[in-house]
Structure 1
Amino acid sequence: MGCGISSIACCFGSAACSLCCSCCPSCSNSTSSRIVYALFLFLGTIIASVMLAPGIEDKLKSIPALCSQITNCDNIVGYLAVYRVCFAMAGFFLLMALLMIKVENSRDPRAKIQNGFWGFKVIALLGIAVGAFFIPAGSFGVAMYYIGMIGGFAFILIQLVLLVDFAHSWNESWIEKKEDSDSPKCWFGLLLGATIFNYIVAIVAIVLFYVYYAHAGCSLHQFFVSFNMILCVGFSVLSITSKVQEVQPKSGLLQSSVVTVYTMYLTWSAMTNNPDGSCNPSITTIAQDIIHPGSRFNVTVPPTSQTNQVWDGESILGVIVFFVCVLYSSIRNASQSNMDRLTFNDHVVLDEENSAGDGGDDEKNAKVYDNEKDRVAYSYFFFHFMFFLAALYIMMTLSNWYRPNSDFSKLEQSLPAVWVKMSSCWICVALYVWTLVAPIVLQNREFN
């Protein structure tokens, strides 16, 4: 009983705290706070996904008086409902980002808002969500569509930064184990196997693209696939040139193979938004043609009506990539060298141990200890701004990047979404190339 009361008090207090669970491991407030914010985002995504579930509107209408007296059920299901939920999440994280500008350490009073007062933040998020459902439809959907396009574009770039950081960390970790291991050939084999696997996936994807998306009559898709394939070959070769290896001996084909797979994913994602149905078959159609070769290739045009909503392959894969990136960003404690190269930043974000304050071992014995008394372990502002963009990205992903009209009576695929994704793909390639050549170009800077 006392534990329950203390947990409730803790949720509405300013201190970072555990949920009175003895089985929970001890961790720093910088990690626990990021995990809780990620849970906020995941929960909102799940709620938005449920609103797209087939038959959910019929289930709600079966509840006596709900849709006739309390609310209009058309407003709490479908793509418009997804826009409203994601608007609430985006608004919450944007507000938090503005509040956290220039927070340097946990002694700043605003740091208590970042790491505590969870009950009040839940109430605030719910309040924004409820208020969002009272916004008149009007031009709300169209405005959010274009805002979501910009935010989704920016988050795709952040995904690439996280992906490059992951690839470098993966490569460095296995190289260190290879050097320290009694059986280095085993770790070398794992590195080689992972690299070959990634390139095989990319090659298979390219072949499928030419067969199903870039066949005769789809000249735009032929350009996309061919040009991006050349780019992937180019930066793969660049990553192993003597100049790059001289300044970055741990850079190699593993990182390039990961970026190649991501480039192919973005290429496919862009092509799935082409309104030309003859160049944009459904995943079901492709699977049936692969299983039954020689069967008639019937193109299925994606649904454009709100009454016929489906989860397509691009949406499912996009949500999976989103979850992985958000989870990785929430638990990542390593050096931000790749981000430093992209932002010309001399400051390296501290890790969990080096950013600890004066509390020492006694403080670390607590369930959640303060490790940011001297300096924050990550940028509060950038973290919330990234989650703001993530909320917009998930809004666009769940709605298949469809363009709505003013009352959401019709949604359709659009070429602007195709070019937004393709341009983000090319910028992602440029960003990765920059991480390779930055130490060569900026020789007076340190990139460890």
Structure 2
Amino acid sequence: MGACMALCSAASCASCLCGSAPCLLCGCCPSSNNSTITRLVFSFFLLLGTMVSIIMILPGMETELNKIPGFCQGGSSIPGFENQVNCDVILGFKSVYRMCFAMTCFFFLFCAIMIRVRSSKDPRAAIQNGFWFFKFLILIGITVGAFYIPDGTFNKVWFYFGIVGSFVFILIQLILLIDFAHSWNKAWVGNAEEGDNKCWFAGLLSFTILNYALAFTAVVLFYVYYTMPDDCTEHKVFISINLILCVIISIVSILPKIQEAQPHSGLLQASLISLYTMYVTWSAMTNNPNRNCNPSLLSLVTNVNTTEPSGGGTQRQVQLWDAQSIIGLIIFLFCTLYASIRSSSNTQVNKLMQTEEGRGSGAGGVVGEDGILRAVDDEEDRVTYSYSVFHFHLCLASLYIMMTLTNWYQPETTTQAMQSSMPAVWVKMSSSWLGLGLYLWTLVAPLIFPNRDFN
């Protein structure tokens, strides 16, 4: 299974389900390296779980399941489901919590198994790069078991696990975005200098201006719609602090001494970080329980029911994603795929994933005796990325997906209702401040420690 298999014929890949990553190669794959294909397949597992979570949280699913005679009410004629199906668990935020719990456990299991794998000669490397069918069965087994977890305090406790994991993942997203901006700037500047073509510089300038324009527009909209003259003091502080910090990192990034120490530093990176910071600020403000300060003006999807349960009833609250959640999913997809296909020559991703330059047989595919093009083992001497750290990254991504699909709302333990929470607000704002601090540190560290190598 995997991204490559989905695009290849079933007949040519059916024999590879129990094999290694090289067997998964087909002409449509973006890389012929064993390590890249393995990361893509694991990322596909994560995306598959995300798709299942999205389907189960859709409001229309309850109506469709109720059409099955006796399925949700018990007494089902379906073998194995007699009097056992609780549609409150397999639908709504509870299904997302359990699905993401299963994915987190799955990736954490491999994170523990793959600690200190040094090369593909390690027997555990065969587990990492192969046996996909059995891995899929393990994921299904954990998922089925997760849906048998009693409600109790599970939802509330797992909410705080999601808060902490998402906090770390937001920082990882920021690092990946910084890395992307550095690579983007370096590539376009190199093209301009080599070809003596000023269009590349014009392109960089255009995207920089666009990023700053969007960030400034966001600040204006925040002050207009998310603050009030006699209320929303927290929002005023959040917006003002992040605006000041974005101005600071923009000025610092173009200082002569910074440019001398960091030749590839510039306003493109600062503009992208500023725009991302404004997104995180907006995302935080949309979780404020004070509805006077949190108008759903930018909702892209209509909420079927946005009212809190009243009286003693158990009215289900069905919450679809708003604009900030959809943007969060898009950024998540970009960062996950970027981390999976980025070459090991990239310095920031190297540090993040603890990667090393592999010394395999090269980047070209190898044609086997059967005439089929297969991936090469580029990790014979040493791995090109840390297996354990990569799986830990997917663990955090699973928690981030859980929080994103549920809008970072805190579940109640006795009903299906979800409510905004200030912990989510402070987690997001803290991550934005820490992220800006990390980016500022990457600019000034070479000046503070001139004898250290920060390449």
What TM-score comes out, normalization by structure 1 length?
Answer: 0.89
State the Cα distance separating 1:283 from its structure 2 match.
2.8
Cα distance in structure 2, aligned partners of 1:148 and 1:360: 38
Q: CA deviation at 1:318?
A: 1.1
Residue 140 of structure 1, CA deviation: 0.8
> Aligned residue for 2:182?
168
Q: 1:4 to 1:405 in 2, by over 3 A?
A: closer
Match of 1:107 in 2: 121
Q: What is the CA distance between 1:270 and its match in structure 2?
A: 0.5
Name the counterpart of 2:397: 390
How far does residue 21 in structure 1 lie from its aligned partner after superposition? 4.4
What residue identity is the alignment partner of 1:87?
A: F
Deviation, structure 1 residue 443: 2.1
Cα distance, 1:200 vs structure 2: 0.2
CA separation of 1:83 and 1:425: change in aligned 2, threshold 3 A: same
Deviations along 1:164-192, one digit per CA (max 9) or x if unpaired, are 10010011011100111132x21111111
- Measured in 2, the distance between the counterparts of 1:361 and 1:31 equals 13
1:27–1:427 Cα change, 3 Å: same
* Whole-angstrom CA distance in 1 between matches of 2:13 and 2:144: 26
Residue by residue over 1:144-177, the C-alpha shift from the partner in whole angstroms, topping out at 9 and shown as x without a partner, is: 1000000010100100110110010011011100
Output the CA distance in 1 between the equivalents of 2:189 and 2:271: 16
Distance in 2 between residues matched to 1:11 and 1:156, nearest whole Å: 34
**Partner residue of 1:30?**
35
Q: Give the aligned partner of residue 329 of structure 1.
A: 339
* Alpha-carbon distance change, 434 to 338 in structure 1, aligned in 2, over 3 angstroms: farther
Alpha-carbon distance in structure 2 between the residues aligned to 1:416 and 1:42: 27
Q: Is the 8 A contact 1:356 1:370 kept in 2?
A: no
Q: Distance in 2 between matches of 1:169 and 1:133?
A: 43
Q: How much does 1:285 deviate?
A: 7.4
Q: The residue matched to 1:103 in structure 2 has which SS?
A: coil
2:382 matched residue in structure 1: 375
Whether the 8 Å CA contact 2:34–2:378 is kept in 1: the answer is yes
How far did residue 301 of structure 1 move? 11
User: Is the CA contact (8 Å cut-off) linking 2:253 and 2:265 kept in structure 1?
Assistant: yes
User: What are the equivalent positions in structure 2 for 1:339-358 lying under 5 Å apart?
Assistant: 349-350=356-357, 355-358=358-361
The letter for the 2-side match of 1:79 is F
- 1:216-256 CA distances to partner (integer Å, 9 max, x unpaired)? 22111011001100000001000011121111111000000
Compute the displacement of 1:409 (Å): 3.1
Post-superposition offset of 1:25:
6.1
Confirm whether residue 58 of structure 1 aligns to residue 63 of structure 2. Answer: yes
TM superposition shift of 1:339: 5.7
State the alpha-carbon separation in 1 of the partners of residues 245 and 27 from structure 2.
52
The answer to whether the Cα contact below 8 Å between 2:53 and 2:95 also exists between their aligned partners in 1 is yes
Deviates more, 1:436-445 or 1:116-125: 436-445
Equivalent position to 1:48, from 24, 37, 53: 53
SS at 2:454 equivalent: coil
2:413 is matched with 406
Instruction: Count how many residue pairs are aligned between Structure 1 and Structure 2.
Output: 426
- Name the Cα RMSD after superposition: 2.5
Q: Is the 8 A contact 2:355 2:385 kept in 1?
A: no
Amino acid across the alignment from 1:395:
M
Contact 2:360 2:378 in 1 (8 A): yes
Shift of 1:286: 11
Partner of 2:221: 208
Shift of 1:261: 0.2
Distance in 1 (CA, whole Å) between partners of 2:113 and 2:39 is 16
Out of 7, 11, 15, the position equivalent to 2:17 is 11
d(CA) in 2 for partners of 1:383, 1:426: 25
> After alignment, is 75-84 or 438-447 more displaced?
438-447
Equivalent-residue separation in structure 2 for 1:314 and 1:24 (angstroms): 32
- Opposite residue 62 of structure 2, the aligned amino acid is E
> Higher mean Cα deviation, 195-204 or 410-419?
410-419
Q: Does the alignment pair 1:125 with 2:142?
A: no
Q: Which residue of 1 aligns with 2:100?
A: 86
User: Residue 336 and residue 443 in structure 1: after superposition, are their counterparts in 2 closer, same or farther (change >3 A)?
Assistant: farther
Deviations 1:326-358 (A, max 9, x none): 1111111144433677x8x9x7632xxxx2425
Question: 2:447 — aligned with what?
Answer: 440
For residues 185-227 of structure 1, give each alpha carbon's deviation from its aligned partner in whole angstroms, at most 9, with x where no partner exists: 2111111111000000001000000000023221110110011
Once the two structures are superposed, what CA deviation does each residue of 1:113-167 show, in whole Å capped at 9, x if it has no partner?
1110100100000000000000111111011100000001010010011011001
State how far apart, in whole Å, the 1-side matches of 2:241 and 2:31 are: 49
Paired with 1:221 and 1:24, the residues of 2 have a C-alpha distance of: 46
Measured after TM superposition, the shift of residue 442 of structure 1 is 2.6
1:44 counterpart letter in structure 2: G
Distance in 2, Cα, partners of 1:160 & 1:340: 15
What percentage of residue pairs aligned between the two structures are identical?
51
Task: Provide the residue aligned with 1:416 in structure 2.
Answer: 423
Q: Which residue of 2 aligns with 1:189?
A: 202
Distance 1:24 1:338 in 2: 24
Query: What letter is aligned with 1:86?
Result: C
Aligned to 1:309: 319
1:318 aligns with 2:325: no
User: Which ranges in structure 1 are unaligned for 5 or more consecutive residues?
Assistant: 288-299
Instruction: State the alpha-carbon separation in 2 of the partners of residues 303 and 112 from structure 1.
Output: 51
Tell me how far apart the structure 1 counterparts of residues 350 and 15 of structure 2 sit (CA, whole Å): 40
State how far apart, in whole Å, the 2-side matches of 1:362 and 1:219 are: 59
Cα distance in 2 between the residues matched to 1:328 and 1:407? 40
**Whole-Å Cα distance in 1 between the matches of residues 355 and 52 of structure 2?**
36
Give the Cα–Cα distance (whole angstroms) in 2 for the partners of residues 421 and 303 of structure 1.
Answer: 25
Task: Name stretches of at least 5 consecutive residues in structure 2 with no aligned partner.
Answer: 1-8, 310-315
Note the C-alpha offset of 1:408. 3.8
- 2:193 equivalent in structure 1: 179
Q: CA–CA distance in 2 between the matches of 1:301 and 1:7? A: 45
Contact 2:350 2:385 in 1 (8 A): no
Shifted more, 432-441 versus 114-123: the winner is 432-441
Alpha carbons 1:16, 1:29 under 8 Å: kept? yes
